[in-house]
Amino acid sequence: MCWWGDAPLFAHAQRLFELKRFEVVVRFSPHAVTASDRKELAARLHSNVEHIFEPVVTPDDRAFETGY
């Protein structure tokens, strides 16, 4: 679940739990990521996440994109 902007945690959680249903996709990389330096590891992990990232699409967004 995405948490973005400056929304307080409680407000975000409250809105999330008010939803009747939501779907989540969890992806794991098939490759292990290693580095001897924590900053290098963070950079590599960030790069991997950017590579597999798919933007959040709401039902309203889908309707707008398809014209329905």
Q: What pLDDT sits at residue 34?
A: 94
Consecutive 10-residue averages of pLDDT for the chain (68 residues): 76 87 82 94 93 76 57
Burial 8-37 (b: 16+ CB within 10 A, else e): eeeeeeeeeeeeeeeeeeeeeeeeeeeeee
**What DSSP line would sit under 2-68, residue for residue?**
---TT--HHHHHHHHHH-S---------SS----SSHHHHHHHHHHHHHHH------HHHHHHHHT-
